Structure formats: structure tokens, C-alpha cells
Chain A
């Protein structure tokens, strides 16, 4: 059985005709070609397929595509502006050395978005808590936390919330 799904992906209104048995992961990779959404375990344990749904992180492998109806979805592809300029969090992942094999990277970046959007500073322990649903086997998380910490500080300074 198939169904039409209407949602917003990375700011663009989309209509997909999906098999109702599909996961959101399959819809985003297969229909939207959003290859930043990585399949690492298919059971919501690794976090590599994390996307934002209405601003909050979800693992798209255990989210039915039909539930995306009316939702606002964002993937790492959507963080790049129309001129190809990377977002600050992506730049920070590069400059802080938070990227190694890269397979978990887009998922971590999506988990970081609510943190860097917040109006208060998160401690390193708090950052660790908010990215604990993403596994990384390469970095020991250290530089990932560095990148998120730097970006949230930058954002807070821009908002005048941090000196």
C-alpha cells in the first residue's frame, strides 16, 4: 500500500508517494536523496540517521514515513546555504577536528542543533547528555563536544547572551 506524504524537507515543500511500510530514513535517502542520513543499525541505537522533526532530533530509522505528514524535517544537507556556505556548526566540526570517518557526523550535527539554538550555555556534561543518543567510534566524543561548545558560545555572543 502506498500513500502520499506532504512535508517540508530542508525548507522545501515536498510530496512523496511512499510505501506505508517505509521508515522516514528510507524516504529521505530513497526519495529525497538526502545521503547525510546514514543507516548504522536500523533500530535507533546508533544515531547516525538523526534528523530534526519540528526542531527536535529523532532517529529516522524507527520513525514511520507516514508520520512525516505535515512535519518540518531537516537534515545536514539543509544546513548549507544556497551559495554552498556551510553553517557555523559544520565549520566548527571541521576546524575542531570533530570529523574522522564521518559516518556518524551528520547525525551528531543534527543532535547539536537544539543545543546551539538554545538561549543559555550548556556545560560540557550537558552537551554530552544531549548527544548521548549518537555513537562515535572514532573520536571519543572529545572534539565533537569541543565543536558544539565553541558554536554555542559563538551563537550566545552573537545574541548578546555571553561576553
Chain B
């Protein structure tokens, strides 16, 4: 039995927002794979919950008229990975969320929950940052959108204000078009693990496949929040494809990142992973784009 004070069930976005306004201290529960565990641990014991699990309008992936991809927040990791639009246009995201936990967790865990937790190790986070995702948020005062880049405020803190819930994640066409990405999750196990370090990179090459037109790289667990390494991106803009580019990325990412030591892994080790993963992830993305290194 979960030590919950009250569970309020919402069946529509409107109802969820209303419940959130009425019970400002209540915690939103989507899939529950984080919230229920925190209740059992005692961190959230006695909490009021607003369950949004049954809001079917918050599920699914679609392509908007402008070619952007809309992922609704209750879409499970499994549904993201095996969605045809994702498989075709955003395979890196599909792959990234396929690294979460195990099959059962990927059925219950939601992509919205993954980013609203504000955890640096979230498997979707680095990729969504690297694809310039935009968030749709609904609150008592209406709707707003914001870049995902600005959403993370700190460890476990995101920019959701009083009564607001996340209602959509949009990946603009400009971000994924002619773009090839790769994700590496480094963990102690190949399943049922959280990342020790994660890296997502994507690249658009020039028509002749010789130079970098556009480059994105982001990391999880390399800083308190999932972080894009903008210095590295700038450093390789327009660079010719080759080993030197990989060296540049591998060094430059360190300017944007600040991994910490914990009992799970030390800073020195994480820095080694950052350097190596930046190199490998970039190389793989370039190779997928048709570049030769």
C-alpha cells in the first residue's frame, strides 16, 4: 500500500490544471515509475497525488502541418521508440529512450515524466536538448511554449509554474531535417541502470559531406542538469570532417560541462568518459550522415 493521502484523478488537461490549482502541493503522477518509488522511500510519503495517467489526449506522436514532430508527454518510452514517425525522422530519440531501465519500465515510463523530473541522467534529455526541442505548457492562464534548453532550473527543478502541466514536446523540422544523430548511454549495466554519463550528438553535413554545416551535442550527468555543450558546437561549425574535428569536440565539450563526484562515479572518471564519448558519439553521427573519418 502506498502511503498517499489522497489521489485525484484527472481525465482531461483542463481537469488536471484545475486540480493542480486546487491542490498546489499535490504531486503530478504520470507513469509512476519515479513518484511511486519516492513515496515508498518516504521522500514523498503522505503526499497528495494528481494522476494524469488516464488522460488519453496527452498520448501519441504526430507530425504537425509545418513538419515539426509533436510528442505528447504521456507517450511511453516504448511508444516513442516504436512510433513510425520517430523511427523515420528521429531515430536517435527512439534509440535513446529505448535505453531506459527495462521493457516494463519503458511501458510505464513517459517521456514527459522523464523531462519534468529534472534529473540530469534522464535518457531522453540529452537528445531532446540536442534537437532544440520546444515545450508546450498549459496552465490556469493559458498556454505557453518555451525552449527545452531553458526548462531545467537545477537538480530536480524545472520551469513549471503554479498549476501548469506539460502538454507537448515539439521537435522542429529545422532540427531534424537532413540531420543524423547518435546517442551513447554509459552505465554499469546494459539494462536496468541509470547513466553514469550520456551523450547525444547530431550533425548536418555539407552537400559534399566534407564539412559540418550544423552540429549539436548534449550530455546527461555531466552537469547538474542535462546540458548542451555550445562551445563545442561553435568550435566545429564549418570544420572539415576528420580526426581533427573529433579532437576539437573532445576538448571543447569540457568548457561547458562540470561533472561532479559521487559514490556512483568520480569526477576524474566522468571527465574521461566525456572526452571519449564526445569523440565516439560525434564520429558515429558523422558516419551515419555519410561523412568519412
Contacts and interface: CB of A to CB of B under 8 A. Distances in A.
Interface in A116-132: 129-132
B277 to A, nearest CB: 21
A66 interface: yes
Given A20-B7, A64-B7, A133 B101 contact: yes
Given A1-B6, A58-B107, A22 B53 contact: no
Contacts of B29: 64
A41 to B, nearest CB: 10
Interface residues of B, number: 27
Interface string A40-76: 0011110100100100111100111011010000000
Nearest to A114: B103
A132 B51 contact: no
A56 B107 contact: yes
Interface string A84-117: 0000000000000000000000000001000000
A133 B101 CA distance: 7
Interface in B28-65: 29, 32-33, 36-37, 40, 51, 53-54
Contact of B104 (A1, A22, A58, A66): A58
Contact of B1 (A26, A47, A56, A58): A26
A151 interface: no
Contact of A43 (B1, B37, B51, B191): B37
The 8 closest A-B pairs by CB, nearest first: A133-B102, A132-B191, A133-B104, A59-B104, A62-B36, A132-B102, A21-B2, A133-B103
B108 interface: yes
A56 B102 CA distance: 13
Given A1-B6, A21-B3, A66-B9, 5 more contacts: A56-B78, A58-B108, A63-B108, A69-B54, A133-B104
B103 A132 contact: yes
Contacts of A111: 103-104
